[in-house]
Amino acid sequence: MHIQSKLPAVGTSIFTVMSALATETKAINLGQGFPDYPMNEELISLVNNAMKNGFNQYAPMQGHMPLREVLTEKIESLYHNVINPEKQITITPGGTYAIYTSLTTALQPGDEVIVFEPAYDSYIPNIEINGAVAVRINLQFPEYKIDWNEVRKNITSKTRMIMLNSPHNPTGAVLQENDINELRSIVNGTNIIILSDEVYEHLIFDNIPHQSILRYPDLMERSFVCFSFGKVYHCTGWKLGYCISSPALMSEFRKVHQFNCFSCFTPAQVALSSFLKNKNSYLSLGAFMQERRDHFQSLMKQTKFTPLPSYGSYFQLYKYNNISDETDKDFAIRITKEYGVATIPVSAFYQNGTDNKVIRFCFAKKNETLESAVERLIKIK
């Protein structure tokens, strides 16, 4: 049997490769973005109670209504925007699914989508599988900021969407208010849709306000905004997230969603509908993760690596030009094998393999994990 591949250029992801190598070599895995510490015991207990209390059948296609209602309360409190829980929120099996479904909802063959690289690895394959074209624009190295004049040069009659990600994976960069003003200027009077990946919404540091698209009703009307419970509550294996949009766009989103997964894991939705009523459950997350970032930065001063700023997410990038002139992929593989620490080469986040001699570390780990990893990294030559 033979089929024509819809993604002929796609192979095994670098995350799979590096995690497998970490397992094979018994390396400390600071590559793939998942915590190695326990999630909240109260949330685990709430899921268990939901199962015992009979919440084990299909939830509504749109999601458990009490969860959608508590999300609207959170959004109004944080972003001063009133969202209709019936018409504007859909619970999804993870943030990546929400992104894929948003793209599938909006794109037609031949449409162009502006994507900023380095980019999370699912973006461009998700665009291409829908027959659309990714228009790639490099973030300005080493700050990883958007060059909005470059965006303007790449707007055409075929531009259907601009994809944003803040806090940003893999760089830890965040959007500022001036970025929002530039975005407004560009999309005003157009039919361009925005897809905003905000899965690290609460993992933002140094008292920087998160510039969520939900803050801006004019942008919200043309946007799909995607979130992840797994990323913020340290349970990535749950694969539970949600998408927020205008009523008109969400109606189309649900047409795709209902014939794909239809419904998400009910007990977790029920548990989260209670857990989120405690505002501290999400307001404390930034400080919690910043402690890990700061501890990792302090430890890494003992190494020859040069840090690049991280203002959010699970990640921090480090240059290794003081150590080696190897490609980032070769360097990442070598230090995994020889020194027992797995990372991710940042060239993997560029379709053309742009190599700035930078690797990505995940610091969402126990202190002892980070300390053990840095003990090994100090030895790298």
Tens of pLDDT, residues 134-143: 999 999 999 9
Predicted local confidence at residue 86, as pLDDT? 98
Amino acid, single-letter form, for residue 223: S
Unique residue bearing structure tokens 């548990």? 271
Of the pLDDT bands very low, low, confident and very high (cuts 50, 70, 90), residue 360 is very high
Model confidence, pTM: 0.96
Tens of pLDDT, residues 143-194: 999 999 999 999 999 999 999 999 999 999 999 999 999 999 999 999 999 9
- Evaluate if residue 253 carries a pLDDT over 90: yes
CATH topology of domain 14-39+283-377: Aspartate Aminotransferase, domain 1 (3.90.1150)
Number of helices and strands (H, E) in the chain? 15, 13
Residue 51, both tokens: 């199962």
Predicted local confidence at residue 12, as pLDDT? 79
Provide mean pLDDT across the span 76-93.
97
Of the pLDDT bands very low, low, confident and very high (cuts 50, 70, 90), residue 322 is very high
Enter the DSSP assignment of 29.
E
Query: H helices of the chain, where?
Result: 14-25, 41-52, 65-79, 95-106, 123-128, 148-154, 177-187, 217-220, 229-232, 247-257, 266-275, 280-283, 285-300, 328-339, 367-377
Provide mean pLDDT across the span 324-344.
97
Burial string for 364-373 (b: 16+ CB within 10 Å, else e) reads: bbeeebbeeb
Residue 182 — left, alpha, or beta (φ > 0 → left; ψ -120 to 50 → alpha)? alpha
Task: Quote the distance between the C-alpha of residue 323 and its chain's center.
Answer: 30
- Evaluate if residue 34 carries a pLDDT over 90: no
Mean pLDDT of the chain, nearest integer = 96
Which residues in the chain are classed under CATH 3.90.1150.10?
A: 14-39+283-377
- Evaluate if residue 109 carries a pLDDT over 90: yes
**Architecture of the domain defined by 57-278:** 3-Layer(aba) Sandwich (3.40)
Predicted local confidence at residue 104, as pLDDT? 98
Which residues in the chain are classed under CATH 3.40.640.10?
A: 57-278
Give percent of the chain above pLDDT 90.
95
Predicted local confidence at residue 1, as pLDDT? 87
Tens of pLDDT, residues 338-347: 999 999 999 9
Three-state SS at 98: helix
- Evaluate if residue 131 carries a pLDDT over 90: yes
Residue 332, both tokens: 């990442």
